[in-house]
Amino acid sequence: AKLGLNYDDAVAMTQEAIEVLLKAWTQETATHQGHFWRFPEFSLRPRVYQQPHPPLHEVASRPASVVRVGSRGWPVAMHFTPTEVVAQCVRDYHEAVAKRTEPPGQGPYRPRVVLCRETYVAETPERARAEGAVALQGFWHLSSLAAPPPPSEFSEERFKALTSRTWGGRTYDELDAIGGMLIGSPEQVAEKVEGLEAIGVDTLLLVCSFGNLSHEQVCRSLELFAQAVIRPRRAGARVAAASHQTL
């Protein structure tokens, strides 16, 4: 336990917190008598603008958690999860959504799978790996609450130590093999994105500025990502729309 909290209570506490939040958003005046919190009366001012309430995404990392989110019909977000596990989570999520009796939400309320990945694109595989490995090491260095600046030289042993808590202590290549990042040349990253689309990931949330990447590197990476991933999909969408109109 840390900060007086029991880790075993995490799921139940999160679900009760969501219950309180939804009451505040949807009721003029609400009460709550729960296991963790008790409020005889509370209200929210100003009232929320979006109706019935602002769209909620819930984070999950394993199939059991994903099923819980899918049973609500909410979008689910994942981050530090291997692609193989993501694929299983996507299947379980859609099965849970399909079992709901209520119709699915629309627009920002629609069920969808969001995946977050640290992303860096460079002109060649060698440059992407050299620069991306140092940057990703820096990301995990700062995530460990170590003092900045992050190390300027890459160390495989240091990388394994820094990823031990979240990824089980993997080397850069091991983490890349399980899909823990989107780092590579434009062709490599485009192929990785296609693989994520194939397993049913709807939305990618990119972490593009991390570690010791410079502003110029981040901007160039985004430009290359747009050329390799975004623009071909926009062009394909326009062709599909034009074909639909001619039918």
Global pTM reads 0.88
CA gap 210, 139 in Å, rounded: 6
Nearest to 126 by CA among 208, 56, 182, 185: 185
Residue at 150 is within a domain: yes
What is the model's pLDDT at position 235?
77
Residues 50, 119: one domain?
no
What is the model's pLDDT at position 7?
85
What is the model's pLDDT at position 233?
85
Of 54, 81, 99, the domain-final residue: 54
Residue at 109 is within a domain: no
Tokens 């639909």 sit on residue: 244
Residues 130, 39: one domain?
no
Residues 119, 49: one domain?
no
Residue at 92 is within a domain: no
CA gap 92, 177 in Å, rounded: 23
Residues 226, 154: one domain?
yes
CA gap 138, 162 in Å, rounded: 9
Q: Give Cα separations from 183 to 111, 117, 138, 208, 221 (angstroms).
A: 28, 9, 14, 10, 10
Residue 230 has what DSSP assignment? I
- The per-residue pLDDT string of the chain (247 residues; one tens digit each, 9 = 90 and over) reads 567 788 889 889 999 999 999 999 999 999 999 999 999 999 999 999 999 999 999 999 999 999 999 999 999 999 999 999 999 999 999 999 999 999 999 998 999 999 999 999 999 999 999 999 999 999 999 999 888 899 999 999 999 999 999 999 999 999 999 999 999 999 999 999 999 999 999 999 999 999 999 999 999 999 999 999 999 988 777 766 666 666 5
Residue at 71 is within a domain: no
What is the model's pLDDT at position 185?
99
Report H helices in 156-230.
Answer: 156-162, 164-167, 172-177, 186-198, 215-225
What is the model's pLDDT at position 241?
66
Residue at 161 is within a domain: yes
CA gap 58, 110 in Å, rounded: 13
Residue at 68 is within a domain: no
CB 75 within 8 A of CB 110: yes
Count of structural domains, the chain: 2
Residue at 106 is within a domain: no
For 83, the token pair is 């692609």
What is the model's pLDDT at position 88?
97
Residues 21, 123: one domain?
no
Phi and psi at 190, nearest 5°, equal -60, -40
Residue at 75 is within a domain: no
Nearest to 123 by CA among 132, 113, 111: 132
The domain of 128 spans: 114-232
Instruction: Find how far residue 48's CA is from the centre of its chain.
Output: 25
Of 54, 78, 94, the domain-final residue: 54
